[in-house]
Amino acid sequence: MQEQFWLDKWKNNQIGFHQQQVNEFLAKYIDKLSLQKNARIFVPLCGKSLDMHWLLDQGFRVVAVELSELAVEELIKSLNLPFEEIPNQHLRHFHHPQIDIFNGDIFQLTQPLLGDVDAIYDRAALVALPENMRVQYAQHLKQVTNNAPQLLISYEYDQDTFSGPPFSVPEAKIKGLYDDVYDIEPLIRIERSGAFQQQDAIETAWYLAKKD
């Protein structure tokens, strides 16, 4: 998963992808997931996102996975909650009644480890993976979550002018990954002028609902 690339990003504090505020699409469209209070939301490749604080403040439970130990340490410190570390062979598992954080390779996260989830919030996982890894990721995500509904955020731009990440994942690619089990609905598209090294991009929020 280009592990060293991302570990080096965190080590060198090259984390321009970390947002200093709660994602506007999360706050605006979380209701599309029709979740009850105390519902459990999976956040893949979570970093130290403030979105996790916001989800907890809304009364949801959260389960997340992140490769970087530095990111997990900073997230735990910012949450200021008493975590218990549960021994595990492949992933470090930090547990609190409201949030579980797994540190390590997402592909080592099994369904029994993850447990039941009611929804997925993917702001920074799919767009962080190169094209040759997205099929594996999407299949793994569907398997471990039993096709839980998703709020997914993507970018689309000329990949030839900016190499990424975040990578450009156009609508056709998203449908190729997910339309076997999901009905895919675009919720909003916003043009971000000069988003990536002066490269314009379209940012889209998607609602993925499990097909009947």
The CATH number covering residue 78 comes to 3.40.50.150
Segments forming the whole domain that contains residue 34: 3-13+21-210
Task: Enter the tokens of residue 6.
Answer: 């991302």
* Per-residue pLDDT at 95: 98
80-113 pLDDT, tens digit each? 999 999 988 899 999 999 999 999 999 999 999 9
Average pLDDT of the chain to the nearest whole number: 90
**Which pLDDT does position 145 carry in this prediction?**
98
- Helix 50-57, helix 69-79: angle, nearest 10: 40
123: annotated binding-site residue? yes
Beta-bridge mates of residue 96: 99
pTM greater than 0.75: yes
66 is in an annotated binding site: yes
The reported pLDDT for the residue numbered 13 is 54
Backbone angles phi, psi at 47, to 5 degrees: 60, -140
Nearest to 169 by CA among 30, 180, 177, 24: 177
Residue 18, pLDDT score? 44
Residue linked to tokens 């949450």: 79
Q: Is 40 marked within a binding site?
A: no
Q: What does the pLDDT read at residue 119?
A: 98
Tokens of 38: 């105390």
Structural domains in the chain (count): 1
Q: Collect the ranges in the chain with pLDDT lower than 70.
A: 1-20, 197
Q: Give me the DSSP letters along 55-70.
A: HHHTT-EEEEEES-HH
> What amino acid occupies position 122?
D
Give the model's pLDDT for residue 181.
98
